[in-house]
Structure 1
């Protein structure tokens, strides 16, 4: 189809990952695109989804597309936004998670701004609230919609004692995604899950990338490890992510307690911050909490670990797993959406049935007791991560954009 990137993904060796012919592109012509980019949270928080959105907008702008971003904003954003950001009137979440902003719909002024911008495509990353309003507006304007799925919202209620809401939430998500022209997800396992749930059949892949100049094994610092109190010969198990219940904090804490009770020798490193820290930290009295990290400091902390334990089942992709792999750290993760497509079980890490404490304990013990296996999987993880570049990732969504436009 006209305008789409042509990519040669046939890699024959590790060296091919860095070779000029590894990803041959005919640069797509995006100058005809005018995209109303509707986000639930573009830069209020620094997380994987927001970083991916900002990288995508930069990619689009650099290639001549016109993009205008519509999102709730806050007084002290986590970082400077890429592109033109129009603030959607919002308020803090009325209960619990005050760091999130809620816009119940698109205001008249925002609608007028969209009309003046005259988009020929909507990109919507939130399936509720003002995301739903944007979908209705797009339908009224006769403009195609590409929806981006970033997280497994339907899994959230179970972590807050609201399991009865899961089925109606699934129905709500099904109505939204089925009304869009195209849906993009970060990996094949997410696409398979959405099809099984009846969300949509027009699903493409917009995967994620990692910067090898930022995340690599050379970031490991024995000096830093010693400053953290980690003996040179003792393996470190890391957690990376926002400290919120849906990231699997309960499972992580239980696994660590079991390993301690069995006499395993290791240390624990927790990288991240969040509202559940007050509840989580007492469960790990010997752990080192380094708080929120970014850039080189994050890469150094990750590379300073020996195993990443990622028990979350809410991820659509698992950015933390990819970043750990790029640092040469094997990953023990939930066999769930995202990690199932990223972690190669028995090669770059190990996959465990969600919530299976015995399984997690057994997998980690294999690494603790067999340093040779741990190093072998660390090398495999590094090699596997090199296929995930941001340009290749963003090329994927261009196909969805042109497919949506062609369908109209």
Structure 2
């Protein structure tokens, strides 16, 4: 990709443009959705016309706060009637994470009508999955003159999640299916840019044979005012560690793919080595059965008061939790970036992480924390003990972490996206104008004009054998894509039903034993 202009400014050309932003989750649900929310607020506050399409579930529906008026002094075009609201669509909530859903079929034309009442200038897909796949597949069916440019932000390793959550051979089938689907969709001409957050993700996309000129690195920013060492709370520390124990923290959704099995083993090893610590785990899961399983894996340390589950935290409470800790422990190996790592560093808390995925590009080993081999529990525990028992080392790492985080601002990150959007829209408009001019240049009698070749002319009055073959090939590819996506979601859906039944039975058995075998 060509370098974008200075990310210190917002492109005037994007003000008033219609952007349809489709995301698999929206709001303060996780790092990915918080990143999307920051982008939406930035675009709107600078005059871009953004409508968000996202699923809602029965468990929770996030309603964004009103967007502030544009802060720029540049003139903002009048947009006419504003879109009524962001669009919430229905889906089947995932048993392990009800905040996320498999979106039911939705027509792109309906989204156009409900959003702007017209075709948008650009479509932005945040972490494309069930919703993003549908959008990309439907756009493939449109003729060239009706193609809308797409920018994707690849933030979620779906294949990695499947490899962890599904047992063999289902995991192998799911990983292969996702790879085929993503390769099929991402290689289409309508996909202009795929942002990726780390080298780990780029390698994966290159393995799917995505064209290198479409790939552009996009890391994340952090709110250094909110996440700040000044948020450290002596009161909270006394509540967590009344005897002055070292405070270890983990901020994550409670789910199997987040590495909690590894974290539980690490906590037990730290206890066996005699380290005086408290492990403060911030996060939860709307599915109580999943949350209960995670908590039980830390026994007996939880009963002994060495592991504390704080539940969900947001805003000031979350910032205080980070800043009041001494060391952040990151055990997930499926993170494409790892926003919590950057938030911890902004809070002046060094990080010990497994050297896999996004955190490998964030943590500067030996400076802002440590990276250890993903499967080496002993090395992970060694680094935690080293930081916990050396105040000077921990203080130096804390200062280094804060300095590094101060280099990553949301304005610069989001302006980079905005410039790419503006350039993509401009390029798309020029290409459509050239296509329109070529079509107009073709005489109605079917003759030649100028240097236009057969490939420049629409079919007149009939269809050549070559056109028929080309159409059949196109139909076969489209059918293959539909079949692959359908098979993927049918398999996932069937397995989700199986999981839900299993969790229901497990919860019933647990309740039966808890009640002493009586009703």
TM-score (norm 2): 0.70
Any residues of structure 2 matched to 1:197-276 within 5 Å, and which?
197-201=208-212, 202-232=214-244, 234-274=245-285, 275=287, 276=290
Q: 1:279 to 1:214 in 2, by over 3 A?
A: same
* CA distance, structure 2, for counterparts of residue 379 and residue 260 of structure 1: 28
Question: What is the deviation of 1:330?
Answer: 0.3
**2:106 counterpart residue number:** 106
Check whether the contact 1:33–1:120 (CA below 8 A) recurs between aligned residues: yes
User: Once superposed, which parts of structure 1, at least 4 consecutive aligned residues long, lie more than 6 Å away?
Assistant: none
Aligned mates of 1:288, 1:259 — CA distance in 2: 15
The aligned counterpart of 1:292 is: 312
Instruction: Quote the Cα distance in structure 1 between the aligned partners of 2:234 and 2:61.
Output: 34
Q: Is the 8 A contact 2:182 2:208 kept in 1?
A: no
Aligned twin of 2:46: 63
Match for residue 49 of structure 1? Answer: 32
Instruction: Report the CA distance between 1:198 and its aligned residue.
Output: 2.7
CA contact (8 A) 2:222 2:408 kept: yes
8 A Cα contact 1:311 1:333, kept in partner:
yes
Structure 1 residues 294 and 237: CA distance shift in structure 2, 3 A: same
Shift of 1:192: 4.1
TM-score (norm 1): 0.88
Task: Please name the residue that 1:324 is paired with.
Answer: 344
Return the match for 2:384 from 360, 364, 382: 364
Distance 2:183 2:122 in 1: 21
Q: Check whether the contact 1:124–1:147 (CA below 8 A) recurs between aligned residues.
A: yes
Conserved in 2, the CA contact under 8 Å of 1:306 and 1:329? yes
State the 1:343 CA deviation: 0.7
Q: Which residue of 1 aligns with 2:149?
A: 144
| Offset, 1:291 | 0.8
Gaps of 5+ in 1: 8-23
Q: How does 1:8-407 map to 2 (within 5 A)?
A: 24-25=8-9, 27-31=11-15, 33-43=17-27, 46-74=29-57, 76-80=60-64, 84-93=85-94, 95-107=95-107, 109-110=110-111, 112-113=113-114, 116-139=117-140, 140=142, 141-160=146-165, 161=167, 162-164=170-172, 165-179=174-188, 180-201=191-212, 202-232=214-244, 234-274=245-285, 275=287, 276-282=290-296, 283=298, 284-285=301-302, 286-405=306-425, 406=427
Contact 1:315 1:337 in 2 (8 A): yes
User: Structure 1 stretch 171-180 or stretch 187-196: which is displaced more?
Assistant: 187-196
Aligned partners of 1:35 and 1:119 also within 8 Å: yes
Q: Tell me whether 209-218 or 131-140 shows the greater mean CA deviation.
A: 131-140
Of 213-222 and 157-166, deviating more is: 157-166
3-state DSSP class of the match of 2:133?
helix
Report Cα offsets for 1:39-89 as digits up to 9, x if no partner: 11223x621111111211111122222111112124532452667311223
The whole-number CA distance in structure 2 between the counterparts of 1:145 and 1:194 is: 17
Q: Give 1:235 deviation, angstroms.
A: 1.2
How far apart, in 1, do the equivalents of 2:237 and 2:401 lie?
A: 21
Provide the residue aligned with 1:15 in structure 2: none
Measure the CA separation in 1 of the matches of 2:353 and 2:36: 25
What is the root-mean-square deviation in Å for CA atoms of aligned residues?
Answer: 2.5
User: Greater CA deviation, 73-82 or 315-324?
Assistant: 73-82
